[in-house]
Every structure is written in C-alpha cells, then in structure tokens.
Chain A
C-alpha cells in the first residue's frame, strides 16, 4: 500500500485528481493548504507528494522546501502541479528535486504516467 499526499487548495480539482489516481493499492491523503500538508507529512509516512504551486498561506514551494529540510521527508518524491509554466518555475521545481512538473490544465494520462513512475 502506497501513500500519496495530494496538496491542492481548489476542492473540485482535488476531487478530480483523487478520482483519477484512486486504485486499490494506493491510499490518498488530502490537504487543502500548505499548513495541513506539513501537519500530515509529520505524522504519516509518505511515498509521493502531489503539490500545487500556488496556494494561499504556505505556498507549494515553501512546503517543498520544508519537506526537503526534514530528514524524515527529504527523500519523498514530489510532483509539482501548477498553473504557471514559466521556465524559472520549472527551474525552481527542479531545484526542489521534483520528479515531474505538470501544468494546469494537465493531461490526466501524463499525471498517471508521472505517478506510476514516481511510485515504482
């Protein structure tokens, strides 16, 4: 059983992504903002984090940096999901060690591929 943390402030989109990724051998935890995400990351052992970039409060990039700074979560793969597609954003995501970088509206097939790859 793999555990994915889905961090997305938009409820509808969270629902869509959860529906896309749901399968019997995967447990999906949801966080509606950066604070919730860090809270869950402290008590759960995560296999993958799907991270929205633009969120009110603690931003996605801040969540990523915090996860990397903590030895317990430093190695968890991160998939960035964002509306922005500027090259500088990509570079930032890469600096965080993101394994994939998806731009909204994302292709569900690309999302599935990226998750499959990250969980392998």
Chain B
C-alpha cells in the first residue's frame, strides 16, 4: 500500500507526542487514517466525475457525428434523385418534350401508389423512378423519333425498342431505384390482355409499377398535343380510357388500376392543369 506509506511519513509532531497519552495518540492515528480514507474517496469521486464528463463528451461527439452522417446521407439521396430526374429529362428533350410530362408522371404515380396503399418509401421510389420510363428514347434515331407518323412497320419496331434500350441502360445496378426504373422502362408499354410490347406479357406478369406507369402515360399522352393528334380534354380522355375507342381498349389496362383511375380521375385533371406544358 504505497499511498498508505506516503500518508504515514507525515510524522506526528514531537510536542504533540509528549503531551498526549498513548491511548489519545492511538485515537489520533485512527482519526488520521479516517481522514486519509476520506481524502482518497474524494479523489476517487473527482476522478469518476472527470471520467463521466469524458464519457459525456464522447456521447456528444457520437451524436453529432451521427447527425452529420444522416445529413450527408440525405444530401446524397437528394442528389441521386435529382440526377435521375435530369437523366430522364435528357431523353424527353430529344423528342421535343418540355420536362413537364415527367413532373406530371411523378405526381400521377404518387397518387396511384398512395391509393394502392404502398408504403411511403415505395411511393417515393415509384415517383422517382417513373420519369425514367422513356429513357431509352435516347437510343432511337431522330429520323424515327421525330417522324410525325404514321410510322412504317420497320420504324415502329425501332421506336418500340426504346423500352429495351431504356432497360439495358438501367440494368445491373445494385440500387433499388435503378432496378425499379429498369422494370418501368421495360414494361410501360405492356398491356393487360397481352397485346403490348416488347415481351407481350399478360396480366400479373407485368410488374405493378409498369401497369401504373402505363395508364398514367396514356392519360398524359391523350391530354397532350402530338404531331399526329390534337390534345383531348379531361372528359374525353376519361371516356377513351374507361370505355375505349378505335385504338385504346379498356382490356389494355389492369382492371384494378382502371378502377383506381375511375376514383382518382379528378386528381389527374388537377395534376395536368397545375403543370401543363406552356402553350
């Protein structure tokens, strides 16, 4: 006990020794040991408090680092979504669209996703990935892409390849968002009755995201001006989608999604007029 030895080297003063009885002197020794123990306890308490403050510092630093990390992660997420949006705009500008189509697509699919009861993060991913549906148009030659039509059969085939091109551009990514974008690009022209392209998938073979984007894309295309058609009003488009016309059949759509549209059509109208292309 080296601390003890140090304490004991403090000699009891000679005159005190002379005046006190041996019993009193022994009591003094007890008192001195008690004081030594108390002081040691006090030092230990101080050390513990210092250690505690140190721990609090660590806890604070950890918390701050965590918050900064989360902030960085959110920034990366935002930048990622932003990049995807710009990538899909590049495709849109090729065929003279303005980018408003993509904004509306995000909003339509969001409304549908919420109606379908998808979890919030899946709705966000669907809204972020939907604008990628026509990315493959980047690979379609201007001659075909800008042709006011009607397209020759071989040109139609080239045009329809934008689904496969888009899917191959987005293929092989570990990102869930990219994978969702790939599915949408590949399947957004498939039809419920199997008459769509490129694979002629039937019914539930078509991913839900593809079925949703397909209907939203149809609504938006019918509302918009095309080289081969005038823009139709909301009521006309509803009638075409819900009852069919010479080109569009209601069998093209997943009945549940068509039913959702029947309930949500007013929202589609609001979305279209809120971010319509400038005329």
Contact = CB atoms under 8 A, between A and B. Distances in A.
Interface of A: 10, 12-13, 16, 83, 104-110, 113
A103 to B, nearest CB: 10
B1 interface: yes
B29 A107 contact: yes
Given A13-B23, A107-B29, A113-B1, 5 more contacts: A105-B25, A108-B29, A108-B30, A108-B33, A110-B8
Contacts of A83: 22
Interface in B56-115: none
Contact of A109 (B23, B26, B28, B33): B33
17 contacts: A10-B22, A13-B22, A13-B26, A104-B22, A105-B22, A105-B25, A105-B26, A105-B29, A106-B26, A106-B29, A107-B8, A109-B33, A110-B1, A110-B4, A110-B8, A113-B1, A113-B4
B1 to A, nearest CB: 6
Contacts, number: 38
Interface of B: 1, 4, 7-8, 12, 22-23, 25-26, 28-30, 32-33, 36-37
Most B CB atoms within 10 A — which of A13, A83, A107? Answer: A107
The 6 closest A-B pairs by CB, nearest first: A105-B26, A105-B25, A105-B29, A109-B33, A108-B33, A107-B8
A105 B28 contact: yes
A106 B27 CA distance: 10
B199 to A, nearest CB: 85
A109 B4 contact: yes
A109 B22 contact: no
A109 B4 CA distance: 8
A13 B21 CA distance: 12
Contact of A104 (B4, B26, B33, B36): B26
A12 B36 contact: no
B132 to A, nearest CB: 78
Given A113-B1, A113-B4, A107 B33 contact: yes
A110 B32 CA distance: 12
Contacts of A104: 22, 25-26
B28 to A, nearest CB: 7
Given A109-B1, A109-B36, A16 B26 contact: yes
Most B CB atoms within 10 A — which of A12, A16, A105, A106? Answer: A105
Contacts of B1: 109-110, 113
A75 B36 CA distance: 35
Contacts of A16: 26, 30
Contacts of B33: 107-109
Contacts of B4: 107, 109-110, 113
B35 to A, nearest CB: 11
A105 B23 CA distance: 8
B20 to A, nearest CB: 9
Contacts of B36: 109
A104 to B, nearest CB: 6
Contacts of B22: 10, 13, 83, 104-105
B39 to A, nearest CB: 13
B107 to A, nearest CB: 80
Nearest to A12: B23
A108 B1 CA distance: 13
